[in-house]
Structure 1
């Protein structure tokens, strides 16, 4: 690679005398100019003659892969023409020189051409430092990177820059260590002081001599990248020959930890990664593993528990708290702070931000708070953060550009996965293997299926292991019972050192419950509790109980307030705060007051059932053994019968929560009807005229998630019943695939249904897709393999033969028929595109295959781009006010709907919530437009709306449209809704996810 690079540069020096390896101001200016022009063109922000620009659109093809990756395919002469109409003209040689400097000097450009010589076409990817629309930040970073790299190349002997002088001062203060080693040592020392390698359960076990290092019990969990799936809003007919089944959790690509870490090593852009998951899912543990790996890579990991910020910004924490801890100095010099900034600028720092959901702010604004703080020099760091799923998915996400991963749960072992639960138990009981074997045997009993599903969560499994080692009693049946067992076990375990009577335990539990409940009610300090606050709550009971809570480990000091200097406390784990809070609630009516449609709505407050931060508390309340089944039943009945009086949007939310509640209260007498309703919303149903109708897409998606969160055993039974009773082919297929792939891998009912499809269907495309589905549900299924093999032999369509061969090769690795078929297609297919697809398929099945590799090298052309979207060409000025004023004028003058939408979208991105932009998009949504335009208008509105504008959206769209739109809010579908109605409904659903019930209700009834 180095030799090739040197040859290219030498060639440039000989053939192109103008393209010398210069890094001076003129070359920098031209390179920056070209970058700016490409950004403006790709963002549709060029302010120039539209007719001339339209002539270039087919010649300069651009595609945004992500917010920070731009793919370009064109020829130099077209770039030359672009610079003429945009800014100061550049010659062809100057453009080539600029492109090379973007590649070899700034490492901003990836050359995608198979061969660099002999072709006029340039096909490359630009990797930006900041999101695509942050023009100013990208160009400023260009300036910084250029000067820094030029300094390294041309000023190494003198090292006179101000930044260097600051660094020298730091190095001199540190003794003989090199600067790099010094920063690495500091990062390691702080991490070790934070005990980043300890098991998170240690605070409750260490007092008895039971403490694990992370690696002693760590079982690597798989990771899955969470991607936005495209889902169809309408029914798929048999004559379309398309897949109906939608991607469930198991369909998304999975990664082992090693693969994930390899991705972190990829050079280029600053990484922005989120690890989202349920409480106790192993998010912090994964972050601990990443921290150690980063240290091994000589990177600079900085761990920040976000609950410890207590209102401070990341910048303040880094420059004050972290630097003081790292250097062990009382005060930190300006030079040292500048030196830390330099490490960020060089991209060496990795910010590991743990628990966004525990920040001292409302959950709905926590993500936006982090986004605002990841700016300036802090933004130069790589960032990996953890967050609970309910906060990450709570609606508009200010960190939506992050690549999001989720830990998979522990597996119990089957034909394709290891028994990770068993591995963890063996490691926990490595000194007492017989005890571990007894626990595994108990979990394997059929009647323990529910608790076995619960302990796939790593934290809960650890708690179960500890409780089992102490009590060796019976297993609980729910999550709440598991926590109750652990609480009881802790008291017994600590009895020798901190003896307690039953009365003291009851009093302490009561005090902890009140503390937990009042803490959660104070959104800004819900998981970090000040000393004065804790003492005030315990003073109502007894301050002696506070000492006992600290001795037992239920409460721990986690810091000192920088504002007041008082101690800050936290529960051992947030899940225990939620558990104790649930114990303190006597009446379910505090979750859901009687504010149905025929009652008076309390406009001062919203029911807690619609607040994400109370979800776990509610579920744990349902699992309490001391609450009567009658009360729990009444609560779930109230949830399912909830009539919100404003379109039914909160009726869905309440129903979905009731479905999740079945995990804690599976004895609910009407559980079957809850699950049956979810299945109707998910897959559709016949109306009175025997026409199959599907519910609005948001309801379908909400039902899908609710089924996954409901009691697994009962959900499986409901799916089996649905598959066996419904006569709609596509609904049965979809349900069978969901059942056999996600809910119960290898389920016999799912396999039987798809087997019957293959035995009766004649359509070749459908047989192909169902055969592939069956092979995924039942790996190695002989009928699936035989069906695909038969299709290869009998079909007259080469394209179908290729798909069948590829599917067969994936289901049966090494299958000779699959490989031979693809090779024959490569050699003989009449269409080159088909040959190329076959070659790419073969390479995926057989990496390194010589025939496929040779064909691709000889014939592959640059990948086709999506159809270029014409957008408004408004120059984003360096002065945002000028750009906004220009867009306002152009929007006022625009007459066609497409231009109005584009201009409004641009205006809204420059100034989120801009009234003129929002008003224009709403007008367009309410008039007759094309299906595609409606969808884009809806997307644009969700992107630019501010929270305070949502009530206006509700009141505007509430009564809009025909009776068809009104039918969307009812339980029984009538007719297929229009695209316009669907987008209005999606917007209303979005508002319901964001707004408290009282605010939505008020807006809905606003006259």
Structure 2
């Protein structure tokens, strides 16, 4: 009997088979002959049991044919396929053999248990690589190392690149970071003139990070078959949370983490974390951190900037030889370089273009680097994202502990710890600030200063003028601005009149800059001079002296100086100060009483303006609402206009306006409509509407998700009160469960009303499949709750369903990892379960509870999606032959669509056509026609999802025209699910189109 092989060739063949199977099962196979593939489909049957479990029934000879049709590394023969299937079973342990008898049967019937979601083929293949290498015997690895060593010595191979001169790259990068002041606190430029300056480690308090993972309700609406999954409570712990040390040491230490994005709001500590990462790389690895402030690119590509700017500056040379440039590129080729890209949102580009531009930069030798970038949340989440393959983390805010005293460190009270560090030389001052923040009336302010930048500003302000704290963000910045003038009064004295004049000028400058989105954060000298006057004296010079403006570079094209506000948040504050009338954000002269016969007219003397829908104005709006010099009646008018906004084109923008108002009342808590607005958010998030005045229906997924986000951003006390009232009055058990869990876990941890409602549900629910979930929710809201524990124990003992018993035992074990009943039940199911999948999952549950799962460093972050991988492969082919090959493929798909009478075949071919030829009109028309004509709800959903994934912005008007009559009050009961799909697609159009353009298309005959 031949010995099993685990070497490179066996791995390559097994990987090939897995890749082809997954692509085939996902309707994403890049095929050389579509007709042959269609003929093969009845012979290779696949079915997805879940997002990561695939059932396959076929024969080896059909798999052999499939590998010959798939574009790639060639056909596998029958023996190679059998070998690969055996390796899946005995080596990787991802294959369950479902055949009743394994001898004498040509048919293979098996289940593949994947590591990642079905669509993420690249991530599954990367997991395959890691697990294969991890499981390989040491002897096999040694043979491979010796083979590679022999190859490197072969005289037939070219010698590795070896330049005549190569700098000490590690020291060079260390010196470059030092020269860029990456060991200093980012607030130092504003505080150093007053003698307040910190090294980063003096005041640094680690912020947690949370890994962002797509959730079912974000990626798409659930189907009726999903049952109670629709009512699963949201949970911030659905995502993995790290402290910075774990993040740096474990995650970044893994070789598979090639693309990472760190997101956060302004001042959330993104740059500070990137500084800590840079220091860790220098101190703990032989790798090379290269820091790039993306605002400095100034029109250059990343490759051009690194060679033309970063390298000469680091070497302190005017010119760099080609040999050194080649040596620098070689560091990338060897995988030694970490590119730390700071502030995507500060690039001199429109927000919607910045991420696409970054993606285009990550090619060639630059792509060999490990990339970590920082970006604002609104830029990352706005519209299509060309960097979706990045593994994404979000900075958490500082947290509060229950108690904090100076002289004793409490890790849970990060705000207190930061204050202690800031006032390390004046502890009494820090204690008084902490006491003031603990006053009940300061609850909203406490929430605001969990942001690191705002807390630093508050500490400095408190140190200069104790005794007064603001109630809104706008007032906080106002107080800080006044403090800045006082700090600099000795060196740069200003009168009250000069300050007011400069503030007005900075407001005008900020307002104009944000309006000109391409240059909103990087302001050219000529532009600033037009607003502030000459730079050698007057307001321009004063702004530079006080630190409100700082030179950040030289324009590549014009050769003129480029400036920026000290921080984008200050630019937004000054812009908000310059807005005198809320109509600047919403010119609603038409919209108070809109009608189709009088559409908005941008050519009118005073064209309508809808800045409320533009993300760059959102923070400005909030700061304007927080101003104490704006009459309350004006703010009330603005909120009223927002909640009554009738877009007269389906309501998509009306909802968006309402969500702006909901966020706005966090800064305008005295609003008369505040309680009504928050209650509406709760209804949209958890409740139901009346469908045709008969049947209650769940709101479409985009509304539910936006309401969830808005609730988190609105006035927190009012949200808590609304949720308490809602769960006390609701009669729906699932709604009570969902809302109570959110209340007790997220909005007001430990809330007594939430706990009482969950306890009541645990006692009264009859279905164990739901009851164990409610009990587990209760235990997570109220740690150690005996009612929850008793319910889980009872379900384990009495349930006849093996899956329910296992889930209840696992939940009990997560509450108490050493619980005897939980552990013994899982062991029993693992060894004696009738269903083999339950046995396997019980083993996995045990491994997790006992700490035997794979370390976090082994988790995989896909560097690109499967479709991006395919596009990259196509780009690498020769130009002429590839051109004719693609055009032939396009023609074949178009003919195939016309020739087929099967709807799903038409959809698959149209989807492939849209991927291969973005913007193809036949693909768009076919998918839209299927949505209009199909009677299949599932096919309607797939067609909508295919459109959302592949549609180009210029095609959005065609989608609107085709779907605009999909109105919830005009559809029948059995068409409701189709309406949901159309609604999500139209919502996507609204998110990516200007309102006026959307309106014109909607009302076009």
Which interval holds the TM-score relative to the shorter structure?
A: 0.7 to 0.9
Residue aligning to 2:208: 222
Offset at residue 94 of structure 1 (A): 7.7
Residue 606 of structure 1: how far off its partner (Å): 4.4
Q: 1:557 is matched with which residue: 547, 551, 560?
A: 551
**1: CA distance, partners of 2:67 / 2:975:** 47
CA contact (8 A) 2:52 2:114 kept: no
Aligned to 2:469: 475
1:44 corresponds to which residue? 29
Q: Secondary structure at the match of 2:216?
A: coil
Give the equivalent residue in structure 2 for 1:335: 323
1:979 maps to which residue? 977
CA contact (8 A) 2:533 2:539 kept: no
Aligned to 1:631: 634
1:256 aligns with 2:243: yes
1:949 correspondence with 2:934: no
Q: Work out whether residues 448 and 473 of structure 2, in 8 Å CA contact, stay in contact via their aligned partners in 1.
A: yes
With over 3 angstroms needed to count, the CA separation of the structure-2 counterparts of 1:845 and 1:668, relative to structure 1, is same
Shift, 1:496, TM fit:
1.7
Q: Secondary structure at the match of 1:430?
A: coil
CA distance in 1, matches of 2:180, 2:536: 32
Determine if the alignment matches structure 1 residue 362 to structure 2 residue 359: no
Describe how 1:647-686 pairs up with structure 2 within 5 A.
Answer: 647-685=650-688
- 149, 163, 167: which one aligns with 1:168: 163
Q: For 1:508 and 1:485, locate their aligned partners in 2 and report how far apart those are by CA, in whole Å.
A: 16
Measure how far apart 1:582 and its partner are. 0.6
Alignment partner of 1:246 is 2:233: yes
- Judging changes above 3 Å, is the alpha-carbon distance between structure 1 residues 686 and 158 closer, same or farther for their aligned structure 2 residues? closer
Q: d(CA) in 1 for partners of 2:152 and 2:623?
A: 64
- Gap change, CA 1:242 and 1:460, over 3 Å in 2: same
Which residue number corresponds to residue 106 of structure 1?
none
1:520-539 alignment, distance < 5 Å: 520-539=514-533
Distance 1:518 1:754, change over 3 A: same
- What is the rounded CA distance, in whole Å, between the counterparts of 2:12 and 2:760 in structure 1? 68
Structure 2 distance, partners of 1:1003, 1:540, is 46
Give me the whole-angstrom Cα distance separating, in 1, the residues matched to 2:367 and 2:1002: 40
1:753 aligns with 2:757: yes
Map of 2:614 onto structure 1: 611
What CA distance in whole angstroms lies between the structure 2 residues aligned with 1:96 and 1:729?
A: 51
Cα distance in 1 between the residues matched to 2:580 and 2:492: 29
Q: Is the Cα–Cα contact under 8 Å of residues 264 and 271 in structure 1 kept in the other structure?
A: no
**Residue 602, structure 1, aligned to residue 606, structure 2:** no
Distance 1:434 1:88, change over 3 A: closer
1:785 maps onto 2:765 in alignment:
no
1: CA distance between counterparts of 2:196 and 2:57? 61
Question: Do the aligned partners of 1:938 and 1:984 also contact (CA within 8 Å) in 2?
Answer: yes
Q: Give me the whole-angstrom Cα distance separating, in 1, the residues matched to 2:580 and 2:252.
A: 52
Selected match of 2:696 from 692, 696, 708:
692
CA gap of 1:85–1:538, structure 2 versus 1, over 3 A, is closer
Q: Shift of residue 253 of structure 1?
A: 2.4
Deviations 1:913-948 (A, max 9, x none): 211111111111111232221221111111111111
Residues in 2 aligned to 1:574 and 1:763: alpha-carbon distance in whole angstroms:
53
Alpha-carbon distance in 1 for matches of 2:470, 2:308: 47
> How many equivalent pairs are there?
924
What's 1:724 paired with? Answer: 728
Aligned-pair CA distance for 1:255: 1.9
Whole-Å Cα distance in 1 between the matches of residues 889 and 257 of structure 2?
A: 28
Cα displacement (A) at 1:590 = 0.8
Separation (CA, whole Å) in 1 of partners of 2:614 and 2:978 = 30
Q: Deviation digits for residues 634-677 of structure 1, max 9, x if unmatched?
A: 11111111111111111101100000001111110110111111
Single out whichever of 652-661 and 815-824 deviates more from structure 2: 815-824
Q: Among 302, 321, 324, which residue is 1:314 paired with? A: 302
Partners of 1:163 and 1:338 within 8 A in 2:
no
1:343–1:349: 8 Å Cα contact kept in structure 2?
yes
Q: Which moved more, 1:766-775 or 1:149-158?
A: 149-158
In 2, distance between residues paired with 1:549 and 1:122? 67
Aligned-residue offset at 1:708: 0.8
Stretches of structure 1 that go unaligned for 5 or more consecutive residues are 1-10, 104-109, 135-147, 175-181, 853-868, 968-973
Q: Which residue of 2 aligns with 1:998?
A: 996
Stretches of structure 2 that go unaligned for 5 or more consecutive residues are 96-101, 124-144, 404-409, 855-866, 875-880
Q: 2:417 aligns with which of 412, 423, 436?
A: 423
Alpha carbons of structure 1 residues 95 and 379: separation in structure 2 relative to 1, 3 Å? farther
Instruction: Name the CA shift for 1:29/1:587 in 2 (closer, same or farther; >3 Å).
Output: closer
CA distance, structure 1, for counterparts of residue 974 and residue 482 of structure 2: 55
2:92 aligned with 1:112, yes or no? yes
Match of 2:192 in 1: 206
Q: 1:96 to 1:838 in 2, by over 3 A?
A: closer
**Structure 1 CA distance for aligned equivalents of residues 114 and 165 of structure 2:** 38
1:834-913 equivalences under 5 Å are: 834-848=838-852, 878-879=882-883, 880-913=886-919
Once residues 642 and 183 of structure 2 are traced to their aligned partners in structure 1, the CA distance between those partners, rounded to angstroms, is 43
Identify the match of residue 390 of structure 1 among 346, 371, 378.
Answer: 378
With over 3 angstroms needed to count, the CA separation of the structure-2 counterparts of 1:441 and 1:592, relative to structure 1, is same
Alpha-carbon distance in structure 2 between the residues aligned to 1:22 and 1:411: 49
TM norm structure 1: 0.84
CA contact 2:636–2:671 (8 Å) conserved in 1: yes
1:931 aligns with 2:937: yes
Question: 1:793 deviation in Å?
Answer: 3.1
User: Is the 2:744–2:781 contact (alpha carbons within 8 Å) kept by the matching residues of 1?
Assistant: yes
Question: CA, structure 1 residues 888+344, in 2 after alignment: closer, same or farther (shift >3 Å)?
Answer: farther
- One of 448, 466, 488 as aligned partner of 2:460: 466
Q: How does 1:490-509 map onto structure 2 within 5 Å?
A: 490-509=484-503
